Chain A
Amino acid sequence: MDLRDKTGLLIDDMPEMRSAMRIQLTDAGLEKCDQARSIKEAIDRLKEKRYDLIVCDYNLGQGADGQQLLELVRRRNILPLSTAFMIVTGETGYEQVSTAAEYAPDDYLLKPFTADLLGTRLGRILDKKAALAPIYSQMGEKGDRTKALAACEALLANGGRYALDVLRLKGELLTALGRNEEALALYENVLQQRSTPWAEVGKARLLSLLGDDEEAKAHLQRALTAYPNYLAAYDSLSQLVEKTDKAAAQQIVEQALKVAPSTQRQRRLGGLALENKDFERAESAFRRAVEKDRTGFFKSHDDYSGLAKSCVEQGKTVEALTAVKDMGNAFARTPELEARQAAVECQVHVKSGNEAAAKLALEKALKVQQSAKLDASSALEIAQACFAGGRTEEAKAIIQSVAEDHNENDEVLAKAQGVFAQAGLEDEGTLFLDATKKRMIKLNNDAVAMAKAGQLDQAIEMLTEAADRLTNNAQIAINTAMALLMHVHRNGTSTDLAQTKRAHAYILQAQRANANHPRLTEISGLYRKVAPADAPPLEGI
């Protein structure tokens, strides 16, 4: 592999290390190489330009590391799968890098190394990226999973040295497409030949998706005795265990944190400890999340909110209010931030018995809520403040609209249930959320029944009303687009370009809400089939 025509980005916070590394990269043949000194610079570079490869030091200073940067940019879709990511680390960082989290680097290299070795290793990961390019190109935000799967089949038919990598990607694709039985069969087939951590974890996920949580848990526990460094197994196990035993889930996250530090896992630990009323541990976990990341890229409003709550539960009102104030200093001013600060402040005042201040803060939070469409976490924080401040009806109204909007998002629904639980209304919360879920199902079913009965216009009206209100609900948006396209289909394609354009907009809305929604492929297929030639094209769904 000739590196001469490749573009690279070198990320390291130490100037002398950067220039030494730059020389080695040049010696290895990589001439076109930009540099970044910090997380911020790296993200800016990645946003403006597409690189073939990233070489990143593990230790990036300011409490940041290469693994967390990798997770951040992959999750935010700033770094395409086709770009190779290599982490360079000293021997002491080796264990933390080689932990195979959900987003693992393509390779890691232990210092010191020669330019020859660097060149060999970069060449290898670029060769692999090139071989798998037909799959990757269909796996990104604008990809088509069915085409990615077809690319897997084509590569597997040719054999070749990357067969196991292709199988791994194929397993992920089948799982994402909801083809659970096929995915499980794939993992079991691989495991018959050999044991390997990704297939063990993949199998456990499928067992859970197919309804056997107990076997999934047992499987993951066995996997962890053999692969104690495999973070993805801890993450999957803690999520499964959390459904029934939050104290045990907390212990598993503790173990994962011993394997490698991560602000995201500190946050998860803090959240679980808070729910388990282990306030001291919650405080230390959130404090670590808040203090360790001095870049501001990895911590979130949740960390300050959790810190304030765990402090006030221990009677540390001053520390709690300081956390609220620090939240304001750590992030850019947005309605979400303002709402968060006010809602948490209200809860702190309620706990410490300062009714007047609590009321004032709650008014402020509600004012923000009325003037802006807030994200789910901030809205739920206000609901929690409403419960604390005795405004039960307002709390429920907010939760209802969040639950309707995020009807298919288990994480948000669990958070909503958590808000009820905090208010001592666990059973009521279960009923309330269940009823909301049923109402949404009924809405969708009614619309489908109406459409089938020929009342297409009424169905469209009902669905568009819901879709315009619930912009985060992919299912409603898809059904709305479906009804509109049925209308176009029934009346002949020539009649209504406006309807097609509306359908187009709802498909995009669904994609924004949940790019992984299993029905996106179906609806985009229908669109392509019935849309008139002059309709806007659908790209990459």
Chain B
Amino acid sequence: MPNQIDALVAAAIHDAKNALMALDTQLGEIERRPTSADFSAARATTGRIAGQLAELLTLYRAQGGQLRLAIDDHDLHDFIDDLLTELGPLPGNIQLDCNRDAADQLGAWAFDAYLVKLALLDALRNALRQARTHVALTLKAAPQGGLCFEVADDGPGFPAAILAGENTASAQGTGLGLSFARLIAERHATPAGKHGHVALANLPGANFKLTLP
């Protein structure tokens, strides 16, 4: 685990540095000629860096035995509303379809909204970067009991190494988001001993499923 965290830290710093340079360019554009598209891009960049740093911090605390989940009931409609608000404006060429029918039937669910939101924001941002035209966010009741968030895009899909379970940096990202999602899925548990999990597939675009017990 320590080595893995070190690798993630290095990758995240590298990514944050690039993101800050991109942000600098975006801010330069805004200074020259403010447009709402540039503002949106700049905010998306800051959102992404802040999210990654929060994820890293959580991984660090988990490593030191300091991470305790704060599980409480959350209304699922409210949660998805908050998630989409925080995600911010979408890139102009991509459409996000959100299917949350299951929220009507489930109502509320007990989970750590702060951590789950971080994981889903990361998955959504990733999907938005990889998608050609569509990203779908679907809320489902899991067949074995549990709550499932599914993020799917119509891009090239996950690289083979990631699908094989390797946690390496790739052209698609630092691997931080997946490590984080797996950690917090595993940490969500019931007194009966059920745990959450993450499942990846190419259908053929990337399909990310976060299931909470």
A229 x B71 contact (CB < 8 A):
yes
Cα A30 to Cα B82 in complex, Å, equals 21
Cα A229 to Cα B85 in complex, Å, equals 27
Check if A195 is an interface residue, CB within 8 A of chain B: yes
Check if A117 is an interface residue, CB within 8 A of chain B: yes
> Interface centre among A124, A164, A194, A197, by most B CB within 10 Å?
A194
Residue of A nearest to B103 (CB): A161
Check if A219 is an interface residue, CB within 8 A of chain B: yes
A198 x B78 contact (CB < 8 A):
no
Partner of B191, one of A117, A164, A195, A198: A195
Partner of B68, one of A117, A165, A219, A228: A228
B110 x A117 contact (CB < 8 A):
no
> Interface centre among B82, B109, B190, by most A CB within 10 Å?
B190
Partner of B190, one of A164, A226, A229, A230: A226
Partner of A197, one of B54, B78, B110, B114: B110
Cα A99 to Cα B72 in complex, Å, equals 9
A226 x B189 contact (CB < 8 A):
yes
Chain B residue numbers with a CB within 8 Å of A219 are 191
Cα A95 to Cα B57 in complex, Å, equals 13
Chain A residue numbers with a CB within 8 Å of B114 are 94, 98, 110
A95 x B68 contact (CB < 8 A):
yes
Closest beta carbon of chain B to A240's beta carbon, Å = 16
| Main secondary structure on A side of the interface with B | helix
Partner of A228, one of B69, B81, B109, B194: B69
Residue of B nearest to A91 (CB): B54
Chain A residue numbers with a CB within 8 Å of B159 are none
Interface residues of B in 98-132 (CB under 8 A from A): 107-110, 112, 114
A225 with B110: in contact, given A100-B72, A195-B213 (CB under 8 Å)?
A: no
Partner of A195, one of B68, B78, B190: B190
Cα A396 to Cα B58 in complex, Å, equals 56
Check if B6 is an interface residue, CB within 8 A of chain A: no
Check if B70 is an interface residue, CB within 8 A of chain A: yes
Residue of B nearest to A222 (CB): B191
Check if A196 is an interface residue, CB within 8 A of chain B: yes
B70 x A100 contact (CB < 8 A):
yes
Cα A235 to Cα B107 in complex, Å, equals 28
Residue of A nearest to B146 (CB): A194
Check if A227 is an interface residue, CB within 8 A of chain B: yes
Chain A residue numbers with a CB within 8 Å of B75 are 124, 161
Partner of B72, one of A94, A98, A194, A223: A98
Q: How many residues of B contact A (CB 8 A)?
A: 26
Cα A100 to Cα B111 in complex, Å, equals 12
Chain A residue numbers with a CB within 8 Å of B192 are 195, 222
Cα A225 to Cα B145 in complex, Å, equals 20
Chain B residue numbers with a CB within 8 Å of A196 are 71, 73, 109-110
Number of CB contacts from chain A to chain B under 8 A = 70
Cα A100 to Cα B81 in complex, Å, equals 23
Closest beta carbon of chain B to A155's beta carbon, Å = 13
Chain B residue numbers with a CB within 8 Å of A200 are 191
Residue of B nearest to A164 (CB): B108
A194 x B109 contact (CB < 8 A):
yes
Q: Bits for B77-94, please: 1 = Cβ < 8 Å to A, else 0.
A: 110011001000000000
Closest beta carbon of chain A to B136's beta carbon, Å = 24
Interface size on A, as a range, is 20 to 34
Chain A residue numbers with a CB within 8 Å of B70 are 94-95, 98-100, 229
A124 x B85 contact (CB < 8 A):
no
Chain B residue numbers with a CB within 8 Å of A229 are 68-71
Check if A133 is an interface residue, CB within 8 A of chain B: no
Check if A46 is an interface residue, CB within 8 A of chain B: no
Check if A169 is an interface residue, CB within 8 A of chain B: no
A117 x B85 contact (CB < 8 A):
yes
Check if A451 is an interface residue, CB within 8 A of chain B: no
Cα A120 to Cα B85 in complex, Å, equals 11
Cα A229 to Cα B145 in complex, Å, equals 23
Check if A366 is an interface residue, CB within 8 A of chain B: no
Partner of A124, one of B78, B109, B189: B78
B191 x A223 contact (CB < 8 A):
yes
Cα A91 to Cα B112 in complex, Å, equals 14
Q: Bits for A175-189, please: 1 = Cβ < 8 Å to B, else 0.
A: 000000000000000
Cα A173 to Cα B70 in complex, Å, equals 25
Chain B residue numbers with a CB within 8 Å of A115 are none
Cα A116 to Cα B86 in complex, Å, equals 11
B73 x A198 contact (CB < 8 A):
yes
Closest beta carbon of chain B to A230's beta carbon, Å = 7
Closest beta carbon of chain A to B57's beta carbon, Å = 9
Q: Bits for A247-267, please: 1 = Cβ < 8 Å to B, else 0.
A: 000000000000100000000
Cα A110 to Cα B70 in complex, Å, equals 14
Cα A469 to Cα B18 in complex, Å, equals 79
Cα A223 to Cα B70 in complex, Å, equals 13
Q: Bits for A92-124, please: 1 = Cβ < 8 Å to B, else 0.
A: 001100111000100000100000110010001
Cα A167 to Cα B108 in complex, Å, equals 12
A sample of 27 inter-chain contacts (CB < 8 A) reads: A95-B68, A98-B70, A98-B112, A98-B114, A104-B72, A117-B82, A120-B82, A164-B73, A165-B108, A194-B109, A194-B110, A194-B145, A195-B190, A196-B71, A196-B109, A197-B71, A197-B110, A198-B73, A219-B191, A222-B191, A222-B192, A223-B191, A225-B191, A228-B68, A228-B69, A229-B71, A230-B71
Residues of B within 8 A of A (CB): 54, 68-73, 75, 77-78, 81-82, 85, 107-110, 112, 114, 145, 189-192, 194, 213
- Having A194-B145, A196-B73, one finds 18 other A-B pairs with CB under 8 Å, namely A98-B70, A98-B112, A98-B114, A116-B85, A120-B85, A161-B75, A161-B107, A164-B73, A165-B73, A195-B191, A196-B71, A198-B73, A200-B191, A225-B191, A227-B71, A227-B191, A229-B70, A230-B71
